[in-house]
Copies of this chain bind each other. A is one copy, B any other.
């Protein structure tokens, strides 16, 4: 096996021509990244996902990767990824070349994201036309607080309360 084969072996999914690559996602959480980006597959874009693949970075061990063809994520979408995958890197690809590569960065506040407040009595869980709004009160380990009912949620609770 030569070096190129080794690289292909670790890549598992092939390079894309145009679009966005989300790399270094926590192993086993790629489906949550799709969820928070509201990607179901029904949009028609080619989406490739690889979960629990060996990572080139030794300290990481394993990772997930998502490739979205023919769609460039915007900065708001990119930062929302940080909720699920705080160490993710985003590469924007044009004509097979990486034109922009960046780390995700967790915003201080989250507006209208697909997370349901854990408090069933919160106004954001009623039929009122109120969009959710959370404050990030701790980044590591992640903790967010609803600005309406002040109930806080940790990482595990956020994963469990992602809207479908």
By a beta-carbon cutoff of 8 Å, the part of chain A in contact with chain B is 8-9, 11-14, 27-31, 34, 40-53, 64, 164
In the complex, what residues of B have CB within 8 A of residue A27's CB? 41, 44
Q: A29-B41, A41-B30, A164-B164 are in contact. Are A46 and B14 (CB under 8 A)?
A: no
Q: Which residues on the B side are within 8 Å of A12 (C-beta)? A: 13-14, 46, 48
Between A14, A46, A51, A52, the greatest number of chain B beta carbons within 10 A of the residue's beta carbon is seen for A51
Contact between B41 and A46, CB atoms less than 8 A apart: no
Contacts beyond the supplied A44-B52, A47-B50: 5 A-B pairs with Cβ under 8 Å: A28-B42, A28-B44, A29-B42, A41-B52, A48-B48
Complexed CA–CA distance, A34 and B28 (Å):
13
**For residue A47, which residues in chain B have a CB less than 8 angstroms away from its CB?**
49-52
Q: How far is the CB of A12 from chain B (nearest CB, A)?
A: 6
Q: Is the CB of B28 within 8 A of A41?
A: yes
A53's nearest neighbour on chain B, judged by CB, is B46
Nearest-neighbour CB distance to chain B for A70, whole angstroms, equals: 10
- Distance in angstroms from A49 CB to nearest chain B CB is 4
6 tightest A-B contacts by CB? A28-B41, A49-B49, A28-B42, A41-B51, A47-B51, A13-B13
Complexed CA–CA distance, A29 and B42 (Å): 7
**Interface pair A50/B13, CB less than 8 Å apart:** yes
